[in-house]
Amino acid sequence: MSAQPAPSTPGLPAQPLDPQVAQLLELVARARRPAIHTMDPADAKIGYEKSALILDIPPAAVHAVEDFTVPARDGFGIPVRLYAPREASWADPLPLLVYFHGGGFTVGSVNSHDPLCRMLCNEADCLVLSVDYRLGPDWKFPTAANDAFDVLHWVFAEAGRLGADPARIALGGDSAGGTLAAACAIEARDTGLRPVLQMLVYPGTSARQDTPSHRALADGYLLTADMIQWFFGQYLDAEASRDDWRFAPLDGGGRGADVHGVCPAWIAVAGYDPLHDEGVAYAAKLQAAGVPATLADYPTMIHDFFKLGRFIGAVAGAHADAVAALREAFDR
């Protein structure tokens, strides 16, 4: 691991790393495993699936789990996994969270994020629909965004059949999944749908990776600058697509997406995450547009910390904050 810059370096939080995070980074550095961006994409997918659950919280039992597919606009069956905390029906519908996993649009799945979705299901007492949208390099932009939009519309149309309350549907995701959730909030506004919350966990929102946090945290904090560009290289169909709002809702094309009238947001950012500043900026963009947006800043954490709860004790508090945001949105 590269030497950590002093806390006074622009782009770094004033607080030092959580001691357990620092210990984890040292363990990762000593393991000397090949970095994901040096691997063949197929091998990277396998490696991520194998490692994703090692540091995550144990998967909790839920009332029911069902795997099925949702039709995409091109006829593809998008795999999804539905978690239920208890029996749901048209007479007693439950709130629902549509969740998009992280992984740089290249790795990750409903399996890699299974423990997190189970926790959200139980603790927020809601249905969770986890979406296995298509990934690069086999499926280029805007396939993932289109898959997300297709699931969004399907969920609102089929809420009753799922036992979900169409008036209490939230959108959520981490990292690249946060990008998709943010884009879905815009698509929902544009098409007359009314989700109650966009829960964005360290989302990617910017067309260019040139913020102070990207510069200061380019190496040594789990997610590196080289990894980010490798991920985007697998996903983007052309360099010009960086400026599409479905990829960069903050500033794509200069101004990014028009976010007036989108649903309220809860945005979690980590102090030692290259994506920190763009998450902060997106919360500010929403607030400037009159959208209620809560920024939850965890200054001692790193990217992907929501999935490190088995090793890092402080993650439980962040999970509780996310659950509280969901419960509040569902109770409005």
Identify each DSSP E strand in 85-235 by its residue range: 94-100, 127-131, 164-174, 197-201
185-238 per-position pLDDT tens digit: 999 999 999 999 999 999 999 999 999 999 999 999 999 999 999 999 999 999
- Cite the active site residues: 175, 273, 303
Q: Could you tell me the pLDDT band of residue 6, with boundaries at 50, 70 and 90?
A: very low
pLDDT greater at residue 111 or residue 31: 111
- C-alpha dihedral sign at 281, 287, 290, 294: positive
Label residues 94-117 b or e (16+ Cβ within 10 Å = b).
bbbbbbbbbbbbbbbbbebbbbbb
Q: Are 65 and 110 in contact (CB under 8 A)?
A: no
Query: Which are the contacts of 255, defined by CB distance < 8 A and separation ≥ 6?
Result: none
Q: Would you tell me how many other CB atoms lie within 10 Å of the CB of residue 320?
A: 11
28-85 per-position pLDDT tens digit: 999 888 889 999 999 999 999 999 999 999 999 999 999 999 999 999 999 999 999 9
Instruction: Give me the pLDDT at residue 91, please.
Output: 84
pTM of the entire predicted model: 0.96
Assign 196 to helix, strand or coil.
coil
234-270 per-position pLDDT tens digit: 999 999 999 999 999 999 999 999 999 999 999 999 9
Length of the chain, please? 332
* Structure tokens that stand for 58 in this block: 């144990």
| Domains in the chain: boundaries | 19-331
Please tell me what DSSP assigns to residue 133. Answer: -
Please compute the mean of the pLDDT values over residues 168-177 and round it to a whole number: 98
CA 114, CA 35: separation in Å to the nearest integer?
Answer: 24
CA 42, CA 313: separation in Å to the nearest integer?
Answer: 32
The CATH class given to the 19-331 domain equals alpha beta
* Structure tokens that stand for 298 in this block: 């965890």
